Structure 1
Amino acid sequence: MKEFYKRILLIFVISILALLAGCSGSETTNGNQKEKTIKIGVTGGPPEQITNIVKKLAKKEGINLEVTTFNDYLTPNKTLADGEIDLNMFQTIQFLNQYVKDRKDPIMAIGTTYNSTIGIYSKKYKSIKEIPNGATIGIPNDPVNIGRGLMVLEEAGLLKLNHGVKQLTVNDIEENPKQIKIKEMDALMILSTLKSIDAGVTTNTAAYNMGLNPKKDALHIETRRDYPMVVAARKEDKDNKDYKRIVKLYHSDEVKKYIQEKYDKVIILTDNPFTIK
């Protein structure tokens, strides 16, 4: 009987040792730490292209950055909140804050990447001065970008706004000397409907996606730099060191060089990746 229990004990010890050895093997491969996978969602154009540079840099640090590209501005946040991806990078801090306010999803910005810009585009006119009285101009229809679009039209000298409100709407137009008609539209549809309107305000990311060069094709490019793009994560992951490392990689010399060469001041890196206003 004693022999039987000794054998049982021996089998138990061997099983535990085998289990521990197996666990150790899952963490290392040939003595090196196994590659970590982080899933990130982006939209096409600059967010995707810049993130692919980050992906190459992350690979050198043992991180497999798996990039998923979305074709709208809502699904990347919903997919993040549902845990299907770990991070996303496609939106400004203002857009994210409005999304969270409206939908209550437990996501937040953990760092900034770059300042993108929006522009005024037209297929009918080659300058702001050519835009006629009574022209119809499309602007994005989400609350944040309605105000941003109106401010770009003001920058271009087409409107004057009342800035004494928290969130600008068309009701805050104080002066409209050309009697411009404002048409609120889906931001992703503006460039494809330029034949039916006189001009449109949209992101330069969308312009790049349509094969346009904002420096050459935009009638006016936004000069403000207070709409930084952010990396978002679930609130429970806000202190994840690997995720913060991804944020830092967006500010690497390689990414900076790529942005300077490809986007020529239309896109500019933010000063500090972890200063979020």
Structure 2
Amino acid sequence: MKKGLFLGFVVLLIGLLAACGGSDEAEGLLEDDKLTVGVTAGPHEEILEKVAELASEDGITIEPVVFSDYVMPNVALSEGEIDMNSFQTEPFFDHMNEERGLELIKVADTVTFPMGMYSEKVTDLKELEDGASIGLPNDPTNGGRALLLFEQAGLITIEEGLGVNASINDIAENPNNFEFIELDPAQIPRQLGEVDAAAINSNFALEAGLVPGEDSIFIEQDSQFVNLIAVREESKDDEVVQQFIDLYQSDEVKQFIDENFEGSVVPGW
């Protein structure tokens, strides 16, 4: 009888230990007491630091993980190295999901960065000579976005209906025989002197000390490329995800953006 009671106690103890062991899993994304968020350097990082400041008042620790390119933040999120990311437009996000078979989902809008054209050699588009070299991002969606920018500027026309999916092979008219050179988007500010002009994403322009509204020779009109917050599929209903969204889309963060970026970054929610 005593032996039976002892065995029953052992079984009960194992069950309790198993239940305790599963409690971390129940805590979701905050199981290690912090939320890791992937961003690119520059404005995304600065805005996240403001969100982290607000989150700390609610007892949530946010740890920024800063990346220097557009690919790794999604790879790291997919592989569970970070909890969420905030750095990309929806067309780029959709392309990455499809191309790499990622199971990431968008949970909220963040900010818009108007793309601009910059030059160290000319101050006006009219000064670009025939055959001038023009740089643009080498990733598919930002490259297509740059081509739409060039079309807005009246430099080229692209095949109808392609939109952001256009590539340099889809240029229908190039009357000034411009040479389009695809470059790593993060490196374009450093390589600006090697081309006559270039399209640069505003986050990289700002990181390089350029002010889109002042230093660009042409800037995107009525940009619809809103950035987003992404998480893994299994995390979308985690309570801390909605807490993060509420903090990001708060009046305090909007005021921070308006005061610190003066129109170079625009709240998109």
TM band (smaller chain) = 0.7 to 0.9
Mapped to 1, the partners of 2:60 and 2:158 lie a distance apart of 47
What is the CA-CA distance between 1:191 and the residue it aligns to?
1.4
Mapped to 2, the partners of 1:176 and 1:43 lie a distance apart of 33
Which residue in 2 is equivalent to 1:175?
A: 173
Corresponding residue to 2:160 among 152, 158, 163: 163
What is the CA-CA distance between 1:183 and the residue it aligns to?
0.9
Which residue in 2 is equivalent to 1:72?
A: 69
The residue matched to 1:188 in structure 2 has which SS? coil
Mapped to 2, the partners of 1:143 and 1:8 lie a distance apart of 66
Mapped to 2, the partners of 1:68 and 1:82 lie a distance apart of 14
Q: Note the alpha carbon deviations across 1:169-203, whole angstroms, 9 max, x for none.
A: 22332322222111111111211111211011110
The residue matched to 1:90 in structure 2 has which SS? strand
Contact 1:35 1:63 in 2 (8 A): no
Instruction: Kindly report the root-mean-square deviation, in angstroms, between the aligned alpha carbons of the 2 structures.
Output: 3.0
Mapped to 2, the partners of 1:141 and 1:90 lie a distance apart of 17
Range 220-229 or range 81-90, more displaced: 220-229
CA distance 1:236–1:8, change in 2 (3 Å): closer
Range 47-56 or range 186-195, more displaced: 186-195
The one-letter amino acid of 2:44's match is P
Range 156-165 or range 230-239, more displaced: 156-165
Corresponding residue to 2:186 among 182, 185, 188: 188
Q: Note the alpha carbon deviations across 1:77-134, whole angstroms, 9 max, x for none.
A: 1111111110011111111110011000221211111111211011111122222111
2:226 equivalent to 1:228: yes
Contact 1:136 1:197 in 2 (8 A): yes
Mapped to 1, the partners of 2:129 and 2:268 lie a distance apart of 37
What is the CA-CA distance between 1:150 and the residue it aligns to?
0.7
Corresponding residue to 1:134 among 121, 131, 141: 131
Contact 1:159 1:173 in 2 (8 A): yes
What is the CA-CA distance between 1:58 and the residue it aligns to?
1.1
Contact 2:117 2:200 in 1 (8 A): yes
The one-letter amino acid of 2:168's match is V
Mapped to 1, the partners of 2:162 and 2:156 lie a distance apart of 16
Range 154-163 or range 229-238, more displaced: 154-163
Stretches of structure 1 lacking an aligned partner (at least 5 in a row): 27-33, 272-277
Corresponding residue to 2:91 among 89, 94, 102: 94
Mapped to 1, the partners of 2:261 and 2:70 lie a distance apart of 22
Contact 2:85 2:229 in 1 (8 A): yes
Mapped to 2, the partners of 1:249 and 1:130 lie a distance apart of 45
* Identical counterparts, % of pairs: 35
The residue matched to 1:201 in structure 2 has which SS? strand
Contact 1:119 1:204 in 2 (8 A): yes
Contact 2:211 2:264 in 1 (8 A): no
Which residue in 2 is equivalent to 1:249?
A: 247
What is the CA-CA distance between 1:250 and the residue it aligns to?
1.5
Q: Note the alpha carbon deviations across 1:201-250, whole angstroms, 9 max, x for none.
A: 11010011111211221111112331111111111112222112212222
Which residue in 2 is equivalent to 1:147?
A: 144
Which residue in 2 is equivalent to 1:197?
A: 195
Contact 1:154 1:161 in 2 (8 A): yes
Which residue in 1 is equivalent to 2:27?
A: none
Q: Which TM-score applies when normalising by structure 1?
A: 0.84
What is the CA-CA distance between 1:260 and the residue it aligns to?
0.8
The residue matched to 2:34 in structure 1 has which SS? strand
Q: Which TM-score applies when normalising by structure 2?
A: 0.87
2:125 equivalent to 1:122: no
Aligned residues: 263
Mapped to 2, the partners of 1:54 and 1:100 lie a distance apart of 26
Which residue in 2 is equivalent to 1:37?
A: 34
The structure having more radius of gyration, on CA atoms, is 1
Stretches of structure 2 lacking an aligned partner (at least 5 in a row): 25-30
